[in-house]
Amino acid sequence: GFRPQAYRSFCGPASIATVLRAFGAQRADQVSLFPSLRTKIDAFYTGMSLVELDELARSVGLRTELVYADTINLAEFRARLKTNLAREGDFVLVNYDRRVLQQSGRGHISPVGAYDPERDAFLIVDQASYKYPWTWVPTDLLYAAVRTFDGQRPRGLLFIHGYVPPG
């Protein structure tokens, strides 16, 4: 169900659409997810904060848990992601600063696809796959990238614990 983001600022909506397709919502499209033209235009020009991503995810029926990275330590971060990935029907989206990973750009959102215990690394399913391939990121580096700030608010994680189609 993966499809790369359609626009430079649509990493969040593309991540949500990827998760929806994993739940079987094959018609989920990152451009048509928005509840209004205004929210779509806002996301097109400015991207999405973690709170806005959470609101959009809930509006399309995803059961979410928003966790700011400054509220958990490295061991909790690793454990929460591993636990999430081990549960069928659970997903996690990370909001991180690309610069920490030595990539161009700033804030970005993508799903986490897997964990490799031998490398202690998580697979980032990069929604901007036209620019960056899916990549394994060491846990401590991903944690550092997630513990940055988006304006006045910390970045973090959006855990997804199920889907109830609206209506």
Kindly state the tokens that stand for 44. Answer: 């097109």
Dihedral sign of CA atoms 164, 76, 50, 132 in order: negative
pTM of the predicted protein model? 0.90
Cβ–Cβ under 8 Å, residues 148 and 155: yes
Whose tokens are 């059961």? That residue is 63
The 10 Å Cβ neighbour count of residue 69 is 23
| Nearest CA among 151, 156, 143 for reference residue 68 | 156
Q: What is the pLDDT along the chain (167 residues), one digit of tens a residue?
A: 777 777 677 888 999 999 999 998 878 887 787 676 677 777 775 678 899 899 999 999 999 999 999 999 999 999 999 999 999 999 999 999 999 998 888 889 999 999 999 999 999 998 887 787 889 999 999 999 999 998 888 999 999 999 998 87
